């Protein structure tokens, strides 16, 4: 066991190392994996990815690392299982948290305007204190977002591209049908089921990419 501890005060370093690890994990995907994810999100066209800006690329990589689960576990878990020799002890510990990242649609309750904001999950009503130096300054009470969260002791961080739930996304018939099906088939805290969370991530990310509105996608910065 390692005695490495992640603290909210170290957010910038955690965010930086997480970004580097996501890059390592993404590079392990083969061409078939990339094509599958691109097809699922509607951005695989003419035998290549059709992503026209950096925020959309970040969102795509985030989806590949955390939502793509061809063997019942995400790519962070796959890297931890099969490529652990390529990571140091701190990276391995961070990967153990990353593999448990969960998808959440949440509403902002308050922000300190500096480095943290508090949210509540719309479905489970779970509360999270999110560390985010940039987002804490720009978000506001009542704003709804969706994305993967990594939970540490007493705080959470966003994994990469966070989707701002604009009315075009949250009010779409496809979104309503997806949520209704999940809530009916998996009552309770259904987003804690990683496979179900991945299905919702697919719908939301695909919608954000299809709309092509940069204001709907926020690239998490450190």
Find the CATH number of the domain harbouring 206. Answer: 2.40.50
Burial classification of residue 48, based on how many CB atoms lie within 10 Å of its CB (0-12 exposed, 13-18 middle, 19 or more buried)? exposed
Neighbour-count burial for 192-219, b at 16+ CB within 10 Å, e otherwise: bebebbbbbbbbbbbbbbebeeeebbbb
45-49, 54-58, 195-199, 213-217: range with lowest mean pLDDT = 213-217
Contacts of 74 (CB under 8 A, 6+ apart): 65, 66, 67, 68, 99, 101, 194, 198
Q: Any idea what the Cα angle at residue 145 is, between residues 140 and 147, rounded to 5°?
A: 140
DSSP notation for 70-118: TTSS-HHHHHHHHSGGGS-HHHHHHHHHHTT-EEEEEEEEEE-SSSEEE
Note whether 63 and 134 are same-domain residues: no
Supply the pLDDT for residue 123: 82
Per the domain annotation, does 1 fall within a domain? no
Residue 122 belongs to domain spanning? 102-219
* pLDDT exceeds 80 at position 165: yes
Count, residues in the chain = 222
Supply the pLDDT for residue 214: 44
Per the domain annotation, does 202 fall within a domain? yes
Note whether 133 and 49 are same-domain residues: no
* pLDDT exceeds 80 at position 172: no
- Token look-up 């078939």 returns 32
Q: How far apart are CA 17 and CA 12, in angstroms?
A: 9
Number of compact structural domains in the chain: 2
The mean pLDDT of 88-117, rounded to a whole number, is 96
More confident call, 188 vs 28: 28
Note whether 119 and 160 are same-domain residues: yes
Q: Any idea what the Cα angle at residue 182 is, between residues 144 and 59, rounded to 5°?
A: 45
How do residues 10-36 score in pLDDT, each as one tens digit? 999 999 999 999 999 999 999 999 999
Note whether 74 and 158 are same-domain residues: no
The confidence band for 220, taking pLDDT boundaries of 50, 70 and 90, is: very low
161: left (phi over 0), alpha (psi -120 to 50) or beta: beta
Per the domain annotation, does 151 fall within a domain? yes
The confidence band for 190, taking pLDDT boundaries of 50, 70 and 90, is: low
The mean pLDDT of 85-96, rounded to a whole number, is 96
The mean pLDDT of 118-129, rounded to a whole number, is 92
Supply the pLDDT for residue 219: 45
Per the domain annotation, does 2 fall within a domain? no
Supply the pLDDT for residue 184: 73
Note whether 183 and 156 are same-domain residues: yes
Per the domain annotation, does 127 fall within a domain? yes
Note whether 94 and 161 are same-domain residues: no
């Amino acid at each position: 066991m390692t005695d490495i501890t992640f603290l909210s005060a170290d957010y910038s370093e955690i965010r930086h190392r997480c970004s580097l690890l996501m890059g390592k994990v993404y590079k392990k995907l083969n061409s078939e994996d990339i094509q599958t994810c691109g097809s699922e999100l509607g951005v695989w066209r003419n035998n290549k990815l059709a992503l026209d800006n950096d925020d959309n690329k970040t969102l795509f990589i985030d989806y590949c690392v955390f939502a793509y689960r061809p063997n019942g576990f995400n790519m962070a878990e796959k890297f931890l299982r099969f490529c652990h020799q390529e990571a140091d002890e701190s990276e391995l510990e961070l990967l153990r948290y990353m593999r448990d990242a969960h998808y959440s649609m949440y509403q902002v309750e308050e922000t300190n305007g500096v480095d943290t904001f508090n949210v509540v999950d719309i479905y489970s009503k779970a509360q999270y204190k999110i560390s985010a130096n940039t987002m804490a300054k720009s978000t506001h009470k009542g704003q709804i977002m969706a994305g993967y969260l990594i939970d540490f002791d007493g705080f959470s961080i966003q994994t990469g591209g966070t989707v701002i739930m604009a009315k075009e996304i949250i009010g779409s018939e496809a979104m309503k049908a997806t949520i209704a099906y999940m809530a009916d088939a998996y009552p309770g805290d259904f987003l804690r089921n990683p496979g179900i969370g991945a299905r919702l991530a697919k719908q939301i990310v695909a919608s954000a990419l299809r709309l092509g509105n940069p204001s709907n996608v926020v690239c998490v910065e450190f």
